[in-house]
Structure 1
């Protein structure tokens, strides 16, 4: 691929996208190319391949493999959509609680390829200090600040924001890196990023902050504010123990900026791919969908994967039915390959097992209620301010988000969105207790507002670490985990593998370099599509090389063991 340039209108600056930095391959260009993703031998047409998991990664792979002429067989143990889980409040048609992914940065261009293809509507997510939220309240140590922009906050908050921006510039060459991403200058991007990898793999996010010149000039209070409030999507302290590389990827690719929600629910994307009939399709009749190939329903969850005597992979579902496949893609969280699915040990190398088992998941909890109307837009007669705002606090709720669904529709409040230790405080509590705890905390911030009087219906809650099919919300790599991530990400390149390890592929955001962002699920899924096509004797078109074709040149650097 060499050096590619993003397509933009004349006179405009190219956008920041999730292009690298570890593997600067233009996935958005690859999937949009008129030549398609490749071609399979005629003898493979209609052959079944197994897809374990019907989340975003599984559905993208199944959809693209179907277009190439294969017959994906999708297995799902829980709910289609995975962590794109939109639960509709009882009695409504489209009033949803987004229990998993709910805000999608526009830099995730491969993901938006499918959003746009399905014709789904999006709108700005009501993040703190954005026009979509209207107003923001920051409540720390009992002091409450109302703001519509950063300029409305006390000077200390601006000092924190400026220090963060300066630290990124001083210690990560932020502007140079983003320019390379904008212009898709591959040589420059790889040179800059490969310099940072060995410097920051072994060091935490907190180390980056505490050791930076920009923050060292300031007080501990400034670092504390940054941890509690952050800038962009909210507080950062839950990520303080993570490898700084994890955070650099997020900010360099604008994952925490210009985020949108999907009207009617994010799960419409995987469900839409299940039902969508592509206009360009090989082997299958026009009008074929994943749903029609499955006679309307996915197969049950997978219980075991082993090498069969015929050399293929034997997949056994939870009811004991066993089928053989030349290729299998697992898209579930990696811990499930030892806790929920009996995977024959020889199918992965011991180094891969180490990487899969060392994946570290972060906890996350959300508590939603439906309310009769967006009452928070009412004005306080004394101050003229909104009676309630998007709220960031050091109290139990941490983040409170407000969703206006339009005239004549019930509104939704995410009373609490918390991670790690704050999420664990909610883990043993019933939904009713979670709501009461959240209302008690918010009452101290909004003493004049009777939130409970507006609640209708039952609350909807989630703790992802308590779900046996997930065991956590998303990966958060610790210092020293780069080598594990590199092994997992590069696993789709199987040509040099021993025969007993070939044919079983992995994908998902925890395999990617951007965990917690759906773009990572999409990109690793597309890597697996290339891997499966290659494994089955197919190839990409000369005019549209795929990720595996350029991996030797563009692939992530490998640190020495």
Structure 2
């Protein structure tokens, strides 16, 4: 069977094929070579866009407000030799072909992520309402869990033509994808994930307990009740594109992928051999961008926190969209007011993680009384929600993500210190594993994050509410600028929050590549012959437009 990839469904464009084509992504006029373009944000979208723009012969100048890497943040445990806590993205589905293109290019290594009931986890413990279950596969759990899995599969088939749609995605049958997906957009944009579950015949034949357990344990990566208020379209995309399946983590930390791209020296148009993004930026990014405005010559001026102002023919913004109104003094005329509405209405979800380093992977020790590992990947309704174990080898320290929680569960620990978060997590896990002294194995200081408390992120990732499809369509299609008035052209958007797949780095990659095409054509370039880019096929394959009573000049 053909492997599932993140192909569509809203815009079924083969980014992986575009990247691999021997002709390259495109060409620029000779007199444009060396032109400086600004990129705000040195996360996945900013670095990947900068890398490809450099290869085209442009000079990307990167601005970063705080830390290189964005939400690909690999925090090193103090004093350790490469032992990291993945505070942002930590599991990457094999269907993310665009991201793995770059991961493979720089020689990073990935291995299966220890998700619940996966072979990589080895074993899983589910603890709900004080009842603790041990399992190595779904078939080790009581029938209720298999009934839930079957009901969800049936709900997807009955209400979303799931088998047919996924077959079309596997086959990359763009016409069939559009025929099946476009009606679902209108049907489910204004309805929630919970509505999809509770209103289905499959779950209707079951009792509330089944829906409750589904919310706590979910499918793939664990409980999904935090997403119950979201538009069902968000969840359908995750399922259809295999984003919750066959996930991997990057050995040594995913942030290294961006650092390696920053230093990489690919063959480039215009630039001499040995050119890198780092070299073009003097070895360091510029400081925080604090203002965006159009100058008298029609260029976009970026001002940094130290008052340095430079004009650019093109600027790519990859930071959190809310920063354009809270942290960056942005001339309102740079965007259509309907785009401003979409940027400001973007809703972000909270998330918190608590990590500790241990002396060794002690959780693999076998309990002589049960013959089972003393601890397992754990899903629970307690404060920790999800607990994950990372084995770096018997002779190296291990890592435990004591708690990974979202929304209300994340807000419960928001004001607490790292030590207090660890204390609460150990207390909760002590109820599940009463004979295990986790604290005896902890080494060094804990590492925690609450993404909503970071002034540069204001949340972990976008979670579209019902009715947000039109907003997403406006910002996603913003790279198509040929119908815009001149005073709105040249400023581009990218990032997973601009994509259709928030929380997944593939969305950052794909929107970065959209912006590369947009900047290339804005500066007079074009796609390589025989290798049409996303903007070339957007009029044919672009997302379906839902009725909008007001005209929108920047939305094709």
Equivalenced residue count is 548
TM-score normalised by the chain length of structure 2: 0.98
Q: Distance in 2 between matches of 1:270 and 1:379?
A: 39
Q: Distance in 1 between matches of 2:528 and 2:318?
A: 26
Aligned equivalent of 1:451: 438
| Map 1:471-550 → 2, pairs under 5 A | 471-550=458-537
Structure 1's unaligned 5+ residue stretches are: 1-12
Q: Do the aligned residues in 1 keep the contact of 2:315 with 2:492 (CA within 8 Å)?
A: yes
Residue number among 239, 252, 258 corresponding to 1:270 in the alignment: 258
Q: Distance in 1 between matches of 2:194 and 2:311?
A: 48
Residue number among 261, 280, 291 corresponding to 2:249 in the alignment: 261
CA offsets per residue over residues 211-255 of structure 1, 9 Å max, x none? 001000000000000000011000000000000000000000000
Aligned equivalent of 1:7: none
Aligned equivalent of 2:552: none
Structure 2's unaligned 5+ residue stretches are: 549-556
Aligned equivalent of 1:4: none
Matched, 1:216 2:204: yes
Aligned equivalent of 2:412: 425
Aligned equivalent of 1:38: 26
CA offsets per residue over residues 39-98 of structure 1, 9 Å max, x none? 001111001000000000000100000000000000001111100000000111210000
SS state at 2:526 partner: coil
TM-score normalised by the chain length of structure 1: 0.97
Q: Distance in 1 between matches of 2:133 and 2:5?
A: 33
Residue number among 89, 92, 107 corresponding to 2:95 in the alignment: 107
Matched, 1:136 2:124: yes
Q: Do the aligned residues in 1 keep the contact of 2:23 with 2:529 (CA within 8 Å)?
A: no
Matched, 1:59 2:47: yes
Q: CA deviation at 1:542?
A: 2.2
Q: Do the aligned residues in 1 keep the contact of 2:351 with 2:451 (CA within 8 Å)?
A: yes
Q: Distance in 2 between matches of 1:106 and 1:193?
A: 22
Aligned equivalent of 2:355: 368
Aligned equivalent of 1:88: 76
Q: Distance in 2 between matches of 1:78 and 1:266?
A: 18
Matched, 1:306 2:293: yes
Matched, 1:461 2:445: no
SS state at 1:426 partner: coil
Q: Distance in 1 between matches of 2:345 and 2:83?
A: 38
CA offsets per residue over residues 403-440 of structure 1, 9 Å max, x none? 00113110000000000000000100000000000000
CA offsets per residue over residues 364-387 of structure 1, 9 Å max, x none? 000000000111111111110111
Q: Distance in 1 between matches of 2:298 and 2:187?
A: 44
| Map 1:267-346 → 2, pairs under 5 A | 267-278=255-266, 280-346=267-333
SS state at 1:370 partner: strand
SS state at 1:548 partner: helix
SS state at 2:132 partner: strand
